[in-house]
Structure 1
Amino acid sequence: MTALKIGACLKAAEIADHRDWLFDTARDIEIQDFMSYAALTTEFEARISAVKSALDGHTGRIGIHGPFEGLDIDNKDAELQPLITARLLKALEAADRIGARQMVLHSPYSLWFQNNVFSWKGYAETKLDRIHDTLGPVVKAAKESGQTLVIENIQDVRPETRRAMVDSFGSHAIALSIDTGHAQLARRMSGAPPVEDFVRDAGDQLAHVHLQDVDGHADRYWAPGEGEIEWTAVFRALADCESAPHLVLELRNKNHIPAGYHHLRALGLVT
């Protein structure tokens, strides 16, 4: 099995603490400075400058995490939908200006959806229409600027549901993201498949992975090795993926990035 190179999710002010590890071997970086209202409005230019400065000299791949709180991409309110679209377009502009080619957005699917999909006629189709109304202009803008939106599993139970949503756009500007911790939580809480199966279902549509460990109870953002995820199985599936997804540690305590990396390296899974 081929060992894979991984990077990390960080804010601009945190990059210096991990600069040698990230920069010396051009590791993936996901910037997490553009998720809030302030970041995309009053603080926008200052954050652009800070991120550019922090990334100076980095030659690896860059992505950002897009905004999500209160910004459901299947929002039912016709007056709110354009506001959500505008906020996502502003985040895409931030990504472009710092040289990021990828932006993470949250999936709108859940156990509620899976259990109720046949309860109302046209339920799935109506939901998908709302997603297209909100996200369509963002996918178009991403295509024009050479960027990719990656849709992260949050409460998803069936990975193929999110994959079908991505497929429905018929565009290379939208692809799949997997959060390993979220997938494991869905397995324990909702009977979802193992994390490995999320990866295998995504196949070559997989463009991005958040690497975090959990205990099966809550969204811990622990370093690999601290929870219960079967990392060898996950990386076996990732090694078979020909799309070379961004692989980034997303940890609550950034001081644990070295420990998470060394745990995976000791297993022979990463370089």
Structure 2
Amino acid sequence: MTTLPLLGAAMPLDALETHRDWLIADQRDLELQDFIKADVLNGDWQPLVDRARALLDGYAGRLGIHGPFWGLSLANPDPDLRALVTRRMEQGLAVCEALGATQMVIHSPYSTWMYNNLDNLPSARQDVVDLVHATLDPVVGRAEDLGVQMVLENIEDKDPDARCDLARSFDSPAVQVSIDTGHAHYAHGSTGAAPVDYYVHRAGNLLRHVHLQDADGYADRHWAIGKGTVNWHAVFAALAPLTSEPRLILELRDKAGILPSAAYLADLGLAR
């Protein structure tokens, strides 16, 4: 990155109404959060798409969605449940097509338990990869056709490499990597994982998406930037040499913190 990176944000449509001008003024990246739940995906979500399109009149930034994740594991060993996860991914991609979105955040299957046990049995590590392929292989081709990147977000990941190796195994532009700074900080503080900037270094140019949230290293806080203990100078120094242009998405629990968080990072000279 030769200039300061441009911040975007994640929000539902209700918050989009109040942040629309800020987003459109600089064509910031946007991640919509309205298409996560099963009842929405199983119902008539077209009115939500229509509302989004109306609110985004004049918007030319990079648009994405957070994909479904509640109760879902990409590495589910039960074939019936795995078929449901595949269906949810298909539903998410259908929303992307209707919106014109080009990115969908999905959750890493790796848990803290896996970190200590994947090498306990000879096939355990490959079994996870094979199960995720069984889940996602049926939809990767469609994602490629739509120009949608499915980005694997770290959740409990203590190993910053496993998720990246999983993404590489698809050998597809449709499967890339995301980092959530608060999740990485939790893993660092509570499970002994590397610090957040190491996750960025390890992902390298596989990194196409970042959830920016502050936290205390104990829980998944989604605090405004500056309210926790993430080392933001180290994080942005790790981002600086990347050429993959990851979307830098403020993902805060309280959407009123979006503009103050952007101002905080701007005042530090890290982003705009």
Give the CA deviation at 1:121: 2.2
Aligned to 2:192: 191
Aligned to 1:261: 262
CA contact (8 A) 1:2 1:269 kept: no
- Counting aligned pairs with the same residue, the percent is 44
CA contact (8 A) 2:74 2:131 kept: yes
Aligned to 2:244: 243
Aligned to 2:158: 157
Q: Distance in 1 between matches of 2:4 and 2:268?
A: 10
Q: Distance in 1 between matches of 2:219 and 2:36?
A: 22
Amino acid at match of 1:143: E
Amino acid at match of 1:220: R
Structure 2 counterpart SS, 1:216: coil
Aligned to 1:129: 130
Q: Distance in 2 between matches of 1:255 and 1:164?
A: 36
The question of 1:29 aligning with 2:45 is answered no
Amino acid at match of 1:49: D
TM-score, normalised to structure 1, is 0.97
Amino acid at match of 2:159: R
Q: Distance in 1 between matches of 2:194 and 2:218?
A: 16
Aligned to 2:53: 52
CA contact (8 A) 1:148 1:172 kept: yes
Aligned to 2:182: 181
The question of 1:69 aligning with 2:70 is answered yes
Partner deviation per Cα, 1:146-183 (whole Å, 9 max, x = no partner): 11100000000111111000011111111000000000
Aligned to 2:271: 270
TM-score, normalised to structure 2, is 0.97
Q: Distance in 2 between matches of 1:160 and 1:237?
A: 16
Q: Which moved more, 1:50-59 or 1:201-210?
A: 50-59
Partner deviation per Cα, 1:193-252 (whole Å, 9 max, x = no partner): 111110011111100000000011111101110000000110111111110011110000
Q: Distance in 1 between matches of 2:218 and 2:198?
A: 20
Q: Distance in 1 between matches of 2:14 and 2:57?
A: 13
Structure 2 counterpart SS, 1:234: helix
Aligned to 1:7: 8
Q: Distance in 2 between matches of 1:52 and 1:14?
A: 14
Q: Distance in 2 between matches of 1:14 and 1:95?
A: 19
The question of 1:106 aligning with 2:107 is answered yes
Give the CA deviation at 1:132: 0.4
RMSD between aligned residues: 1.1
Q: Distance in 2 between matches of 1:20 and 1:46?
A: 22
